Structure 1
């Protein structure tokens, strides 16, 4: 049997990265298949680590092992694209777009090793608030590392593709994205001959996401433990060490409360094990004010597109924190529109990116353009409208223009390992 042609969708988020493939089966493309980038999970942390011997690994080394030098870890670099102040990793300065490109290459090489062939096309997502400047920076970094057959598309566009594949037939869709460290609200509309365009978008002024909900629950549990054992006991060094892993346990409890009405937080203290019962109602009261703020932003985003809420055909929830039941409850109560969250909203955007890649291939094939795969500039859907309406650029949106002049910053490129023929970058072991 010959190798099966396939396309690849990659979503590199602020905290996690996911990917999906769709394969050519006869004349049609298959349902997107989420690729497990981690043995225990379909996603991998959007984290790069430079080891003491100089090799580069992907994933958070502190998640399953001992603490490491934080100066050798790079995280949160996606949102830094467009900032000409470099990130310093292992004593070397590098641009955030270079780090994103390296992570993208890691995903591509992992998929190529599994499929034993190169993808026909790749779609990589980006925040809807990005303008041409940031997209160009990322596309140039991808081109430099060797990823040339790439289309960059806004996350809400690919999320809408996934929702359309699942049966959404409406014209206008609001996309509510709530991740680990931020949120973004968008409104998209169908276009012809294919795809969606972004009518409007907004992101949180202050970072807000699942990590903040984890911290709120951690503070709540820590306060309850303090009441049980007495504040004076907190001076005990052994107790402070025992509470060090409380955040991870509370993150697990938060996920459990997405499907259960209550759960237990277990902590091994010097005095003995402690179990605290946490109900979903308690957790929801902790995070309700923050979630109401995100719903306010969604409402304003819809209205900024000169739309009434009843003119939106549906609302799609994406991102890991979209699993929290209170999110859908608050949105439904406020906007009275159909709200949908897929079984795993953390990978919705990646699945849609693979679907978008299928459409791009189909449209390009109909145009009989043999050079479309070698375009170095970022493109939208062929014949489609721009990602943002023209009036966004005319209303003072700095994202649509070059950034203002800043003092020159000398950036020494990080000497990252470059992929070789037949090599691949594996978690914890660098390029092999």
Structure 2
């Protein structure tokens, strides 16, 4: 069945979604399993000794052959070192995107009609061009790049959000973005104003704050163990703190469970305790969101809503503080980590089947001038978007080419299943 593909390569995880053609329309985008049934795979690359590039990272590594958070480095003239070899961050990003395309190609039995890849909203043309060239070098010639905040808005629109102007609050694992979007005449979304970000701030910081609390509670027990046992006991702490963080979005309390040399340990954490830890960081993101709105010359009441995305966006404190600062509806989807990917798939549907431009509104007939022609006052004339510099630019047209998958990637890509990133 014909399909389109949306990809979101985040600072910590990568997700993808497909929408399939259903007659003249498209099905609702669905997440694609990328990692042993999970829709998320760590945005980590590991170069094995035999030259194989693994997605998701190894179980153990000294760091010299593993790289992460490379998307943020695109545009940096200093290359990343992977196994002692210099690698351009855009090449690594393109390799990960190519792996996702190949996985979906194999699962769907054919190429996508279009691929949309999200990128940080603050990127300027130079960074987009670097990534575009790297994608083309790997045979991915039909990829459309869109700001992540736009794909987030497209996902919420597909879910029923009908607003015209919105603020996007995207809180990832190691990044935060705030931007404004507006609906275009064709019904798509575009960014306007100046996007803002805090980097690196994200859900990983919340995990570390919780981990610090756990280490403090267990300080006596840990001090009584040897150094090797100490490190072994805390090896699973980051993943356990991430689990508890997610549990506290729906529960009022949860236990951090660790295996110590003296036996299992349970450290109870309430939602109130956790929110007290993360409140200063969350407040900083909300303050930046508010500055983004004011920087565009808007009052919060002029927004139709605030659209949330990112795994930590479902923390109740986030909605509480946003609502206090911007008295407009706050929208968050059940699995906010997938919002940007599903929105990218929705945008890919529009690349293949653009929405028709809505008809111009019917105007009351104007008085007829002496020359026998209707005279329309200048203030009421429709704006010519080809000459009016104040009009929002339409999304640039995209030429769709058949997706030409490389016969063999520059590096063989295999998934390191079941391993920690």
Mapped pair 1:274 → 2:265: yes
Distance 1:240 1:69 in 2: 15
Distance 2:228 2:68 in 1: 30
Determine which of 9, 13, 37 is the counterpart of 2:10.
13
Q: State the match for 1:76 in structure 2.
A: 69
Cα-Cα RMSD = 2.2
Change (3 A) 1:101 1:428: same
Q: State the match for 1:293 in structure 2.
A: 284
Determine which of 298, 301, 304 is the counterpart of 2:295.
304
Mapped pair 1:428 → 2:400: no
Instruction: Give 1:300 deviation, angstroms.
Output: 0.3
Q: Which has the larger helix fraction?
A: 1
Instruction: Give 1:255 deviation, angstroms.
Output: 1.5
- Unpaired segments ≥5 residues, structure 2: 358-391, 397-405
Q: Deviations over 1:386-427 (max 9, x none)?
A: 7xxxxxxxxxxxxxxxxxxxxxxxxxxxxxxx6439x98430
Q: Deviations over 1:244-289 (max 9, x none)?
A: 3322222221121111111111222222222111111111000000
Mapped pair 1:167 → 2:160: yes
Mapped pair 1:315 → 2:303: no
Tell whether the 8 Å contact from 1:128 to 1:201 is kept in structure 2 after alignment. no
Q: Deviations over 1:200-236 (max 9, x none)?
A: 243334411111111000000110111x54x852665
Distance 2:311 2:328 in 1: 21
Q: Deviations over 1:36-95 (max 9, x none)?
A: 111242111111111111111111323xxxx12311111110000000100000111010
Distance 2:35 2:310 in 1: 18
Distance 1:304 1:254 in 2: 32
Instruction: Give 1:105 deviation, angstroms.
Output: 0.4
Change (3 A) 1:282 1:364: closer
Q: State the match for 2:206 in structure 1.
A: 213
Q: How does 1:61-100 map to 2 (within 5 A)?
A: 61-62=58-59, 67-100=60-93
Mapped pair 1:128 → 2:128: no
Mapped pair 1:32 → 2:42: no
Q: How does 1:108-257 map to 2 (within 5 A)?
A: 108-226=101-219, 228-229=220-221, 232-233=223-224, 237-257=228-248
Distance 1:220 1:172 in 2: 40
Q: State the match for 1:49 in structure 2.
A: 46
Mapped pair 1:384 → 2:375: no
Instruction: Give 1:174 deviation, angstroms.
Output: 0.7
Change (3 A) 1:176 1:246: same
Tell whether the 8 Å contact from 1:256 to 1:263 is kept in structure 2 after alignment. yes
Distance 2:53 2:295 in 1: 44
Tell whether the 8 Å contact from 2:308 to 2:332 is kept in structure 1 after alignment. yes
Q: State the match for 1:391 in structure 2.
A: none
TM normalised by structure 1 equals 0.82
Mapped pair 1:102 → 2:130: no
Distance 2:414 2:179 in 1: 35
Q: State the match for 1:409 in structure 2.
A: none
Instruction: Give 1:338 deviation, angstroms.
Output: 0.4
- Unpaired segments ≥5 residues, structure 1: 367-381, 387-417
Distance 1:271 1:5 in 2: 57
Distance 2:394 2:50 in 1: 47
Q: State the match for 2:381 in structure 1.
A: none
Q: State the match for 2:342 in structure 1.
A: 351
Secondary structure of the 1:292 match is helix
Distance 1:88 1:164 in 2: 40
Bigger Rg, structure 1 or 2: 2
Q: Deviations over 1:278-315 (max 9, x none)?
A: 11111100000000000000000011111100000001
Tell whether the 8 Å contact from 1:193 to 1:383 is kept in structure 2 after alignment. no
Mapped pair 1:329 → 2:313: no
Tell whether the 8 Å contact from 2:225 to 2:261 is kept in structure 1 after alignment. no
Tell whether the 8 Å contact from 2:53 to 2:414 is kept in structure 1 after alignment. no
Tell whether the 8 Å contact from 2:186 to 2:356 is kept in structure 1 after alignment. no
Change (3 A) 1:88 1:424: closer
Q: Deviations over 1:323-348 (max 9, x none)?
A: 21111111112211100110101111
Secondary structure of the 2:181 match is strand
